[in-house]
Amino acid sequence: MGRRSRHTAEELRELAIQSAHQIIAENGLAGISARAIARRIGYSAGTLYNIFGSLDELVLEVEGLLLEALDRRLSQVAAEGPSHHQLNKLARAYLSFSRENEKVWSIVAQRVLPFNKSTPPWYSERLERLSDHFEDALASQLPEMKNSPKSLKQSARVVWAALHGISLMSATRKLPPMCYESVQHIADDLIETYLAGLQERSNRSRPSA
């Protein structure tokens, strides 16, 4: 009982999130339960429910940690400076991160909130930050798109969503077997084809000389 008194509610919250992350990294989402987490940190399952309300909310917090870590990885790419292949560099970092954290990354696809629950604002904001990296890279590679911020944002979201989908399908083993060794090539081809289409559309919209 003495151990329990040494943690504040916030400390216990962080302890539970970190422990849940470790369990998922070891055993995947199937290995997670309130009892398993409680046993690992030395508290009762009831204590966890008092803090998080439900196991779904705790798993969502684990996703939040993951998205923050990915945001940091993409920020490192951005810190290297602009490149003519910035989108491809981001894609490489994105897919590498998902492979390195495959079991935890798969919960993004497998976890489903109950119908009466909506995604919290902080979660949407973290996804938005990921998309922002692609918006900055797209503006760097196609500067003329800065003249249409709405179109730039939408196009960046298309690239990000497609790449996000590829990473999730890879993590959950839903890609055809022949694709796993060429996931990066698939992403590169997608980006290059989409950029070529955007460039062609931009060229058509320019007034004739």
**pTM of the entire structure?**
0.85
What are the pLDDT tens digits along the chain (209 aa)?
344 457 788 899 999 999 999 999 998 888 899 999 999 999 999 989 999 988 988 999 999 999 999 999 999 998 887 778 899 999 999 999 998 998 898 888 776 665 567 788 998 999 999 999 999 999 999 999 999 999 999 999 999 999 998 888 888 877 776 666 688 888 999 999 999 999 888 788 766 55
Domain map (residue ranges) of the chain: 1-53, 62-205
Q: Residue 138: CB partners within 8 Å, gap ≥ 6?
A: 87, 145, 152, 155, 156, 159
Q: Domain 62-205 is in which class?
A: mainly alpha
Locate all alpha helices (DSSP H) within the chain, ordered by sequence. Answer: 9-27, 34-41, 45-52, 55-79, 86-100, 102-105, 107-110, 121-141, 149-171, 183-205
Map 31-47 to HEC letters: HCCHHHHHHHHCCCHHH
Q: What are phi and psi of 180, to 5 degrees?
A: -65, -35
CATH of domain 1-53: 1.10.10.60
